[in-house]
Structure 1
Amino acid sequence: MTEHDDGLEAAPASLQELIDNDLDGLLDAPEKPRKTTSADRLQRAFLEIVDFRRAQGRLPSSTTRDIAERRLGARLDGILADDAKLEELKPLDEFGMLEIEAAPSSLEDLLSEDLDDLLGDESGLLDVSDLPVRRSADAPESVAKREKAEDFDKFEHLFKAKHAELADGTYALARFPGVQSIEEGNFFVLNGVMLFIAEVGETTYREVGGKQEQKQRLRVIFENGTESRLYRQSLSIRLHEQDGLILARTGLDPNEILDGDAESGYVYVLQSLSDDPAVSGLKDLHKIGFSTTSVEQRVKNAEKSPTYLMAPVKILATYKLYNMRASWLEHLLHRVFAEVRLDITQIDRKGRDYDPSEWFVVPLPTINQAISMIMSGEITDYVFDRAQQRLVQRDG
């Protein structure tokens, strides 16, 4: 059929003519979506901090009780401690948040910049010749400053659990990544002794060189039953100077925990299907744990593990988390329900004693309520009432 027969254009004589006449690009192969890279996630994560700075007129704090702001503040701390990230993100830094003032290269440079004669010393106040020499962090005088932890029984099971997880490969020791990793719930090893960050105190400020310097007092519990109240920065210095280690979940890079808006794991609630009367006779017995893999995969061989009371389990609830460490949420839940933690000793397949640390006698609705309150920040105003088996508002 020709154009003169019915008013239609003649069909293309060849495939090449068809391609040449495709003015609208109908034959173009669709572009494959570009795979999101770690650089993309890092940039997107930093832009959240930029949005916060634009909206609030200040930098986010890594120690506030507001969970969303604390996440951004911790992320900024991590970026500031990583030269590679600083270099990559500088083009996006419209507020100068990543600018770090260079230190004077010499004493002469420092003195030449002292325009207000702040270092003038007519009174001899800067004469340090009579001051004692700084002692190393592991000197006997420093160790003696630790005190006995009167409530160590509340933490002892945590150390046992972490040693077991190191033994079975769930956790591994990694090089200390920096001050940003010193957060409540994390474990470190200093001079061969494991320590636990039980509390990070409120941020206080002091002015140093015209700038506000943050300080946070910690409560650090050591596995030998002692505790210390040193500052966050002081612990960081000791971990750096003495090749300290962090306990990191196997397969995760401690430096990347706060990178981007990636899936960070699951918090789950389990019910034991054990026929042991000591277990089956307990109403509202639940395990609260977390996993970086699917919960189904995590509990696949529960009957072979003392962590799961050597019995199959039933998954009652699963919470998928993004941009938040699942271990952090798990730790807070354990603190809320510490009073009703199950006290039982299991025997593993090698005949060794094991004290499961993640089982609690608490109703499932109360666990769900606690998770919601942690996410909203309301949990700071509530405590668990054992008699009522529910969360109640704090007095005062």
Structure 2
Amino acid sequence: MGKKKTLDDIFNDDDFGLLDVKPEASNVKSEEDRLIDAFEEVNTFIDQNQREPNTENMSEYKLQAELAHFKKCEATKETLRLFDRHNLLGHIETNKPNIDDILNKQDAFGLLDLDKDLSIFKFNHAPNTQDRAKTDLVAKRTPIKEKEFEKYEKIFQKVHQELKSGKRKIKTFKNVEKHLREKCFYLLDGILLYLEKVDFKRNTGNLGKNTSKRKDGRTRVIFENAMCSNMLYRSLGKSLYANGQIITELNESQAQELFVDAESIKEEDIVTGWVYVLKSKSNNPEISNIQDLYKIGFSSTPVEQRIKNAKNEATYLFADVKIMTTYKIYNRNAIKLESLLHKFFSNTCLNIDLFDGKNQRITPREWFIVPIELINEAIDLILNGHIMSYKYDAINQLINERLPQSKNRN
């Protein structure tokens, strides 16, 4: 008869690990996690409402009280600093040690000894910072001559008026590839700037073996304080992402002349037409209940004149219309621009049958279900020549960059 096994024998003979007990992960949130969650609730509210919560509405009272606490408590500010995308907490003082503090501390492990072998700090496959420094000159803001700045000053004044009237809005800057474009306005550290042009010639694909290729290049940025900069496109994007905002395009009737710079329109230039965006004033529920329904069209005459008889024309859904945006086209094929827009948003085209006074069926093909800001964005992409690199996602209502197609190899 064999020897009876003890408990230790049984536990030690567990070849399949059946007796291993894994400790359950704790679902209890730390105090810091709860603090961040509460602050994110305030951020989300501002994202959705474009304002801070107030005490006038009981449903907002809790958020307002929490925000007031966050603003007063310095310790809390330091914890939430990285999550403050709306600059709610203002300037935050941080206690950064200076070089003397670091060097005067006891170096127990001799990390600061310079006679040690430094070969571990030599990287063979990392970007050489000295080489990068040679090619990437430091972008400094330089003053613009008063006479040269006059044309920009008028543009900045106009943008401020449009912000005040609500024609433009200030929104969070989230995506460099999507939101950072030529001829657009931004706020950086509270200063309005105009991205006049970008020279996408810089190649960031050769900085390292595993570095992803991203477009980059020198910009010409005009600031409202009469300064300009040639900072890199990516550097500007990082600055805006960390401490900036985007100024939206016009969302009401506003004629926009398409120009390379403020002085490019000459007397001899030819107006080839107008591309416009309209919203229907129809009382027909089949039409009025459709959100983000807009007509994208072309006219060889001023738009106000073209739509005078809208309520009697099928192309305007037999109803009056509101002008949302008009683009005055110089020296370009305006009809082709209209066709490109129709093709770009083709999967959102309104499919509806109407009947005229003679009971003949008419199917308008120039109405599209797409947000106005995305229509304006698509027009910008056409004008800067980048439209072929993008496609419209109708389900998520996003303009996305096309992924490069890989060639099949046999």
TM-score higher than 0.5 = no
- Which structure has the higher relative contact order (CA within 8 Å, separation 6+)? 1
**Which interval holds the TM-score relative to the shorter structure?**
0.3 to 0.5
Provide the TM-score with structure 1 as the length reference: 0.34
Structure having the higher Rg: 2
Q: What TM-score, normalized to structure 2?
A: 0.33
